[in-house]
Amino acid sequence: DYGYIRYTARVIFERPWKFDLTYKIAFTVVNQLNLNTISPPLNVPVVQEHIKHFYCGPCRSEPLTINVMLPMTGYVPGQFILTKVDISNGSNKCIAEVKLKLRRQVRYCSKTPYQQNRTVYNTLAKFQCSGVDAKGSAGYERRFLVPSEPPTRSDTIIRLEYFVEVTAKVLGMAYSPQVKIPVIIGTVPLMNLNQRQQRASIVEAHMSTASSLTRKIFHGSVPSLVVPHTFEKSAGRIDVNIQDDDESPSLGTVPFTPRYPMFHFDIDNNPATHIGALPAHQVHSSNTNQQEKLPPSNTTTMDR
């Protein structure tokens, strides 16, 4: 890629009349992004439609209509992105296949000596679904498992964004229509209505009682609202050497891979009661249209 932001700690042992000894390690700093504080709210469904006509004038075809729906646009690693796709093909063109992808976009921005941008795209997960005949229609329902990834960020020289992409591959040389819906990856998951009411009652109890007592009430209740999580390696990344070219050999652990929070939910995005593998019936995939991930991970697919 074109750059990185890396945090390291280094200890140097200065030895008179000898070469200095260096110990260097890298660590991950995660930018906190609370999905509940973003405006407009992310917990509302979003629908995006794309209408495509082939040819023009008197030869203009009936429309090919693609509707993509997400139940919300804010997620944390470990949650499932339920993606529903409805295709109505009124044209005479056949759709060979429908591809659903979860993609990451990294934009590198430099200002000196002159302004320049570079963009890199990576596919985090994808499905390949059956096509749609001419004058036909079809519906698809897939769940993307959000892998261990850094949160969305658009205010630095390295801008990180995510989106769901749906492509209808049209046979022949015709343009294949595409729909993109941005999603925001955060570090604090969206709370449902029951969790908001529960947290509000906890805060009210905390404010209305004595200081020493409220500390016990508040901190004793909060863990029930915290989603179990671990720290895992970022998807599709390999160990890198953190030693700079102008540095002397280090005695520390040089290879490094960033680790980011990975939350644990069931397939309906309810917080898991314990950290562990999902039940077998939740991770089963059919022989076709399986999710392809980098690296592979468990997920579920369903046809509507």
Strands (E), 111-177: 116-132, 137-145, 158-170
Q: What is the spatial distance between Cα 236 and Cα 297, in angstroms, rounded to a whole number?
A: 11
pTM given for the model: 0.77
Domains of the chain: 32-204 (2.60.40.640)
Q: What is the spatial distance between Cα 232 and Cα 110, in angstroms, rounded to a whole number?
A: 30
Report CA 54 to chain centroid distance, whole Å.
34
pLDDT on residue 37: 92
In Å, how far are 4, 186, 190 from 225, measured between CA atoms?
A: 34, 17, 11
pLDDT, block means (10 residues), the chain with 304 residues: 85 87 87 91 94 82 93 95 95 93 94 88 94 93 94 89 96 88 94 51 40 36 58 78 72 78 85 53 38 42 40
Phi first, then psi: give them for residue 296, nearest 5 degrees.
Answer: -60, 150
Q: Are strands 137-145 and 301-302 parallel, antiparallel or unpaired?
A: antiparallel
pLDDT on residue 266: 83
Q: Identity (one letter) of the amino acid at 298? A: N
pLDDT on residue 24: 86
Residues in CB range of 179: below 8 A, 6 or more apart: 48, 49, 50, 66, 68, 165, 166, 167
| Burial state string for 135-151 with b = 16 or more CB within 10 A and e = fewer than 16 | eeebebbbbbbbbbbbb
